[in-house]
Amino acid sequence: MQAFEPKIIAFACKWCTSKEVEELQVPSNVKIVKVRCSGRIDPTIILELFTRGSDGTIVFGCPLGECHYETGNLHAEKKIKMLKKLMSLSGLNSERLRLEWISPLEEAKFTEIIRDFVGQMKTLGCSPLAGEKPDVNMLINLEAAKSAAEDFRLRVLVGREKWLLDNGNVYGEPVNEGEFDALLDEIVKAEFIRHKIHYLTREKPRSLKELAAFVGIKPALVLRHIMNMRRKGMIALDRIEGTTPLYKALEVQ
Partner 1 sequence: MAEEKVGAVLVVGGGVAGIQAALDLADSGFKVYLIDQSPSIGGVMSKLDKTFPTNDCAMCILAPKLVATGRHPNINLVTNGEVIGLNGEAGNFEVKIRKRSRYINEEKCNGCGLCAQKCPVEAIDMFNEGLSDRSAIYIEYPQSVPLKFMIDREKCIGCGTCQEICKAEAIEYDQQDSEATLKVGSIILAPGFEPFDARLKSEYGYGRFPNVVTSIEFERILSASGPYGGLVLRPSDGEIPRKIAFIQCVGSRDAQLGNNYCSAACCMYGIKEAVIAKEHVPTKLDCTIFYMDIRAYGKEFDDYYNRAKEEHDIRFVRSRVASVTEDPSTGNLHVYYVEDGEPKTEEFNMVVLSIGMQPPKNAEKLAEVLGIKLNGYKFCQTELFSPVETSKPGIFVCGAFVAPKDIPESVAQASGAAARAMSLIASERGKEIVKKEYPPERDVTLEEPRIGVFVCHCGINIGGIVNVPEVVEYAKKLPNVVYAEANLYTCSQDTQEIIREKIKEYNLNRVVVASCTPRTHEPLFRETVREAGLNPYLFEMANIRDQCSWVHMHEPEKATEKAKDLVRSVLAKARLLKPLKKPIIDVTPVGLIIGGGVSGMTAALELARQGFEVHLVEREKEPGGHLRKIHYLLEGEDPKERLNRLVKEVMENGKIHVYLGAEVTEVSGFVGNFKSKIIHNGEEKEVEHGIVIVATGAVEYKPTEYLYGKDPRVITQRELEEKITRGEFKAKNVVMIQCVGARTEEKPNCARICCGQAIKNALKIKEVSPETDVYILYKDVRSYGFKEDYYRKAAEKGVLFINYDNGRKPKVTNENGKLKVTFWEPTIKEEIEIKPDAVVLSAATVPNPDNKRVAEMLKVPLTKDGFFLEAHMKLRPVDFATDGIFLCGMAHSPKFIDESIAQACAAASRATTILSKKTLEMEGIVASVDEDLCSGCRICEYLCPYGAIEMKEKNGKITAHVIEALCKGCGVCGTACPTKAITLGHFTTEEIMAQVKAALMEEITA
Binding site for partner 1 (CB under 8 A): 152-154, 156-157, 160, 164, 168-171, 173, 175, 180, 183, 187, 190, 208-209, 212, 219-220, 222-224, 226-228, 230-233, 237, 240, 242-245, 250-251, 253
- Distance of closest approach, residue 81 Cβ to partner 1, in angstroms: 16
Cβ–Cβ < 8 Å for 83, 36: no
Q: Which is nearer to partner 1, 216 or 242 (CB)?
A: 242
Q: Which is nearer to partner 1, 2 or 243 (CB)?
A: 243
188 sits in which H/E element: helix 177-203
Distance, CA of 197 to CA of 214 (rounded, Å): 9
- Distance of closest approach, residue 38 Cβ to partner 1, in angstroms: 23
What is the chain's length?
253
Virtual torsion, Cα 42, 48, 53, 57, nearest 10 deg:
10
Q: Please name which of 38, 127, 29 lies closest in space to residue 87, comparing C-alpha atoms.
A: 127
With b for 16 or more beta-carbon neighbours within 10 A and e for fewer, the 14-44 pattern comes to: ebbbeeebeebebeeebebeebebbbbbebb
Q: Which is nearer to partner 1, 126 or 221 (CB)?
A: 221
- Distance of closest approach, residue 76 Cβ to partner 1, in angstroms: 20
Q: Which is nearer to partner 1, 25 or 172 (CB)?
A: 172
- Distance of closest approach, residue 83 Cβ to partner 1, in angstroms: 18
φ, ψ dihedrals at 56, nearest 5°: -160, 150
Q: Please name which of 74, 12, 76, 84 lies closest in space to residue 40, comparing C-alpha atoms.
A: 76
Instruction: Give 183's DSSP letter.
Output: H
Q: Which is nearer to partner 1, 33 or 240 (CB)?
A: 240
- Distance of closest approach, residue 194 Cβ to partner 1, in angstroms: 11
- Distance of closest approach, residue 243 Cβ to partner 1, in angstroms: 4
From residue 150, alpha-carbon distances to 20, 67, 130, 165 in Å are 32, 25, 23, 22
Q: Which is nearer to partner 1, 81 or 224 (CB)?
A: 224
